[in-house]
Amino acid sequence: MSTSMVSTTSSTMLSFTSCRGSSRSSRFSISGRKRLSSCSWERNIVRACSAPPRNWGNRFSAIETNDLSKPEHLIAARELEDESDVLIECRDVHKSFGEKHILRGVSFKIRHGEAVGIIGPSGTGKSTVLKIIAGLLSPDKGEVFIRGRKRLGLISDEEISGLRIGLVFQSAALFDSLTVRENVGFLLYENSSMSEDKIAELVTQNLAAVGLKGVEDRMPSELSGGMKKRVALARSIICDNTKDAIEPEVLLYDEPTAGLDPIASTVVEDLIRSVHLKGEDVLGKPGNIASYVVVTHQHSTIRRAVNRLLFLYEGKIVWEGTTDEFTTSTNPIVSQFAAGSLDGPIKY
Ligand SMILES: Nc1ncnc2c1ncn2[C@@H]1O[C@H](COP(=O)(O)OP(=O)(O)OP(=O)(O)O)[C@@H](O)[C@H]1O
């Protein structure tokens, strides 16, 4: 299995910025429903797609994807793996920006119940991988499968159902002109038939789940960086609980702890764990996120928030393993990166 990803935080942020121009007064009412925006890409970015849950697995051990000496039993184990719990698969994904060939054959699977980190040097394409999974960018070559169904084009095609995929941006990407309540309830105001009172109640519950109280009427500019990230997290986990079947969800976090102090990072890392189906929130309720993927450079986030790591380097996944294996790996690329050393195969 080999995987490589590329991420483009800055370009996505530009998209958000371009729509922030919509002032609060520009909202309009349709059938009594307050509409927060008419930008379809906003909905595409904030929203997810969809698919039903299965049994989960987390049975990967460290694998050097280009290592021809890979033990036979590992190859055999891979071939015999049960595929029914695979939620997302990237298969031989390539992506270029102009002359820059960023992703050069990235392949990996995200299974139900997994907490996966994507790490690697800056500019290797980690955020690009998240955007390709989220359907905001198309691969030039290769395929993305959502619960075994090949995704065609971008998320706006709305071909895929059964798995909600949410992307939590590095900078939180809140809409400056909307209150915290409107930001968190954005998709429900836009897409659901729930009453505004019910949405407001859900917003308050989801804010409480990320440890925020009494901030519903604040504007994003009145929040600290850590609070913004928590609001973005609340927005990513809110869902229409009036539906008969709640769809399982995969969350993609792009550097969720970047720029935070160590304690604020710990709060966010624990929140990421708490909204996972194996965790529980501050109210003691189990999370409803089936699996998540975190792009990060932070050692604390690697240790605290994920179980399995994919190492992206020069357009491919060159190593994968558990977080414990990461710290003890003798792979020269991995050990240089883990130690932050200037000596080794990674050149800056
Ligand atoms: N939309 C775009 N247009 C042009 N180049 C892009 C675009 N998106 C990303 N790139 C380039 O692709 C490369 C990978 O970007 P990406 O943000 O995916 O890397 P990254 O591994 O997430 O980096 P970092 O760890 O620094 O956040 C970078 O060289 C970036 O400049």
Residue 274: CATH number of its domain: 3.40.50.300
- Ligand 1 site, residue 126, Cβ cutoff 6 A: yes
- Ligand 1 site, residue 122, Cβ cutoff 6 A: yes
Q: Which protein residue has the closest C-alpha to ligand 1 atom 8?
A: 8
Contacts of residue 285, defined as CB under 8 A and 6 or more positions apart, other chains included, come to 209
In a domain, 223, yes or no: yes
What ipTM was assigned to the predicted interfaces of this complex?
A: 0.98
Provide mean pLDDT across the span 281-289.
71
Q: Into how many domains does the chain fold? A: 1
Q: Determine how many CB atoms are found less than 10 A away from the CB of residue 58.
A: 15
Which of 99, 127, 295, 314 to mutate for ligand 1's pocket (most ligand atoms within 8 Å of CB)?
A: 127
- Ligand 1 site, residue 25, Cβ cutoff 6 A: no
- Ligand 1 site, residue 102, Cβ cutoff 6 A: yes
- Ligand 1 site, residue 97, Cβ cutoff 6 A: yes
Q: 13 φ, ψ to 5°?
A: -65, -35
Residue type present at position 133: I
Q: What would the pLDDT profile of 308-348 be if each residue is shown by its tens digit?
A: 999 999 999 999 999 999 989 999 999 999 988 898 898 87
- DSSP structural state of residue 287: P
Instruction: Find the 279 Cα to ligand 1 centroid distance in Å.
Output: 32
Please state, for a pLDDT cut of 70, what percent of the chain lies above it.
Answer: 70
In a domain, 156, yes or no: yes
Q: Which protein residue has the closest C-alpha to ligand 1 atom 23?
A: 123
Domain that holds residue 227: 9-21+37-339
In a domain, 82, yes or no: yes
Name which of 119, 140, 150, 126 is nearest 49 in CA terms.
150
| pTM attached to this predicted model | 0.74
Distance between terminal CA atoms of the chain? 27
In a domain, 181, yes or no: yes
Query: Among 46-50, 51-55, 155-159, which stretch is predicted with the lowest mean pLDDT?
Result: 51-55
Instruction: Find the 166 Cα to ligand 1 centroid distance in Å.
Output: 20
pLDDT value, residue 296: 92
DSSP structure string for 142-175: EEEEETTEEP-S-GGG----S-EEEEE-TT----
pLDDT value, residue 209: 77
- DSSP structural state of residue 256: T
Of 61 and 260, the one with more pLDDT = 260
In a domain, 26, yes or no: no
In a domain, 191, yes or no: yes
In a domain, 324, yes or no: yes
Furthest-apart CA atoms within the chain: distance in Å: 65
pLDDT value, residue 183: 92
pLDDT value, residue 81: 61
Instruction: Find the 8 Cα to ligand 1 centroid distance in Å.
Output: 4
Contacts of residue 112, defined as CB under 8 A and 6 or more positions apart, other chains included, come to 53, 54, 55, 56, 57, 85, 86, 87, 248, 290, 291
- Ligand 1 site, residue 6, Cβ cutoff 6 A: yes
Of 226 and 39, the one with more pLDDT = 226
- Ligand 1 site, residue 127, Cβ cutoff 6 A: yes
In a domain, 71, yes or no: yes
